[in-house]
Amino acid sequence: MDGKTNDILRKYPKGSRDSLIPILQDIQDQDGYLSEQALVEVGRYLDLPSGKIYGLATFYNQFRFGPPGQHHVCLCHGTSCHVTGAGDVRKELEKKLRIKPGETTRDGKFSFELSACMGACHLSPLIRVNGRYHTGVKPGDVKEIMDSYIEGGEE
Amino acid sequence: MLVKIEVNNRIIKARKGDTIMSALQTAGIKIPAICSMKDFTPTGACRMCVVEVEGRRGLVPSCSQPVNEWMKIKTHSPRVVKSRKTIVELLLSNHPDDCLYCVRNGNCELQNLAEELNVRERRIMGKKNNYKLDHSSPSIVRDPAKCILCGRCVRVCEERMAVFAIDFLNRGNKTIIGTACNKDLNFSSCINCGQCIMVCPTGALFEKDALMELEDALHNPDKMVIVQYAPSVAVSLAEEFGVKPGREVSGLINAVLRKIGFDKIFDTSCAADAAALEMAAELHERSKRKEKMPLISGSCPAWVKFAEQWFPDLLPVMSTCKSPQQLLGTILKTGYAEKTDIDPARIFSVAIAPCTAKKFEARREEMTRKGLSDIDSVLTTRELAKLIRLYGIDMNQVGSEQADAPWGIPSSAGRLFGAAGGMSEAVIRSLPHIAGAKDPSRIKYQELRGSKGRKEADIKLGRSVYRFVAVSGLSSALTIIEEIREGKSNYDFIEIMACAGGCVNGGGQPIGTGDTAVKARMKALYGVDEKEAIRFSHKNPAVSNLYNEFPGGPGSEKCRVLFHTKYSERKVLL
In a domain? residue A7: yes
**CA–CA separation, B251 and B265 (whole Å):** 11
Residue-level pLDDT at B241 = 93
- A39 in B contact zone (CB under 8 Å): yes
Task: State the CATH class of domain B105-111+119-207.
Answer: alpha beta
Question: Does A142 lie in the same domain as A94?
Answer: yes
List all residues of chain A from 48 to 67 with a beta carbon under 8 Å from chain B: 49-55, 58-60, 65
| Alpha carbon distance B422, B411 (integer Å) | 12
Cβ-Cβ contacts under 8 Å for B123 (sequence gap 6 or more): B89
The pairing of beta strand B176-179 with beta strand B377-380: unpaired
> Are the C-beta atoms of B517 and B451 separated by less than 8 Å?
no
The CATH classification number of B212-563 equals: 3.40.50.1780
Task: Determine the residue type at A51.
Answer: G
Which CATH number do you get for residue A113? Answer: 3.40.30.10
Q: Is the pLDDT of residue B442 over 60?
A: yes
List of long-range contacts for A109-112, beta carbons under 8 Å, 24+ apart = A109/A69, A109/A70, A109/A71, A109/A149, A109/A150, A110/A69, A110/A70, A110/A71, A110/A72, A110/A73, A110/A146, A110/A149, A111/A66, A111/A67, A111/A68, A111/A69, A111/A71, A111/A72, A111/A73, A112/A73, A112/A75
The predicted structure's pLDDT at residue A152: 65
CA torsion B178-B180-B182-B188 (nearest 10°) is: -90
- Given a contact cutoff of 8 angstroms between Cβ atoms, the answer to whether B99 and B111 are in contact is yes
| Nearest C-alpha in A relative to B171 | A59
The last residue of one of the domains, among A14, A38, A59, is A59
Give the CATH fold of the B2-76 domain.
Ubiquitin-like (UB roll) (3.10.20)
* Residue A2 banded pLDDT, cuts 50, 70, 90: low
Has residue A81 been placed in a domain? yes
Domain boundary (A59, A89, A106) is at A59
Which positions ≥6 away from B282 have C-beta within 8 Å?
B295, B319, B320, B321, B555
Structural domain boundaries, residue A121: 71-152
User: Is pLDDT at A6 greater than 90 in this prediction?
Assistant: no
DSSP character for A47? T
CB atoms B181 and A54 under 8 Å: yes
Half-sphere exposure of B258 (CA within 13 A, CB side): 15
Do residue A52 and residue A80 come from a single domain?
Answer: no
Cα–Cα distance for residue pair B264/B254, rounded to 1 Å: 10
Q: Are residues A77 and A136 in the same domain?
A: yes
Q: Is residue A65 part of a domain?
A: no
Q: Which neighbouring-strand residues pair with A126?
A: A135
Of A39, A43, A52, the CB nearest to B167: A52
Interval B380-438: pLDDT, tens: 999 999 999 999 999 889 999 999 989 999 999 999 999 999 999 999 999 999 988 88
Q: Are strands B377-380 and B347-353 parallel, antiparallel or unpaired?
A: parallel
- For B503-555, give the DSSP string: GGG-TTSPTT--HHHHHHHHHHHHHHHHH-S--SGGG-HHHHHHHHHSTT-TT
> Cβ of A51 and B171 within 8 Å?
no
Calculate what percentage of chain B has a pLDDT beyond 70.
100
Q: Among A49-53, A136-140, B94-98, B556-560, which is the least confidently predicted range?
A: B556-560
**Residue A39 in domain:** yes
What number is the average pLDDT over the span B518-526? 95
Contact A117, A78 (CB under 8 A): yes
Q: Do domains B2-76 and B212-563 have the same CATH topology?
A: no
ipTM, two decimals: 0.86
Is the pLDDT confidence value at B286 over 60? yes
Q: How many domains, in total, are found in chain A?
A: 2
Mean pLDDT of chain B: 93
Instruction: Give the chain B residue nearest A56 (alpha carbons).
Output: B169
Q: Are the beta carbons of A54 and B171 separated by less than 8 Å? A: no
Amino acid A153: pLDDT: 52
Distance of CA B249 to the CA centre of its chain: 18
Q: From B268, B234, B279, select the one nearest B252 (Cα to Cα).
A: B234
Q: How confident is the model at residue A56 (pLDDT cuts 50, 70, 90)?
A: very high
Q: What value does the mean pLDDT take over residues B51-70?
A: 93
Q: Is the pLDDT of residue B68 over 70?
A: yes
Q: For chain A, give the mean pLDDT.
A: 89
Q: If you write DSSP's letter for every residue of B288-324 in order, what string do you get? A: HHT-S-SEE----HHHHHHHHHH-GGGGGGB--BPPH
Residue B192 predicted with pLDDT over 50:
yes
A133 lies in the same domain as A93:
yes
Q: How confident is the model at residue A155 (pLDDT cuts 50, 70, 90)?
A: very low
- Interface touch B181/A58, C-beta < 8 Å: no
Domain limits, chain B: 2-76, 105-111+119-207, 212-563
Helices of type H across B341-473: 357-362, 381-390, 412-415, 422-434
- The pLDDT of B528-542, averaged and rounded, is 92
pLDDT tens digits along A21-45? 999 999 998 988 899 999 999 999 9
Same domain for A75 and A38: no
Residue B489 pLDDT > 90: no
Domain annotation covers residue A119: yes
| In a shared domain, residues A32 and A12 | yes
Give the integer Cα–Cα distance in Å for B175 and B172: 6
Give the integer Cα–Cα distance in Å for B125 and A69: 39
Residue A146 domain flag:
yes
- Chain B CB within 8 Å of residue A102 CB: no
Within this chain, do residues A75 and A130 fall inside the same structural domain, yes or no?
A: yes
Look at the alpha carbons of B63, B501, B496, B231 in this order and tell me if their dihedral is positive or negative.
Answer: negative
A66 occurs within a structural domain: no
Q: Does A32 map to a domain?
A: yes
Q: Which residues of B235-246 are buried (b: 16+ CB within 10 A; e: fewer)?
A: bbbbbbbeeebb
Which of the residue ranges A50-59, A67-76, B380-389 would you say has the lowest mean pLDDT? A67-76
Return d(Cα B321, Cα B304) in angstroms, integer.
12
Task: Check whether residue A107 and residue A48 sit in a common domain.
Answer: no
Residue A63: list chain B partners with CB under 8 A.
none
Nearest chain B residue to A58 by CA: give it.
B170
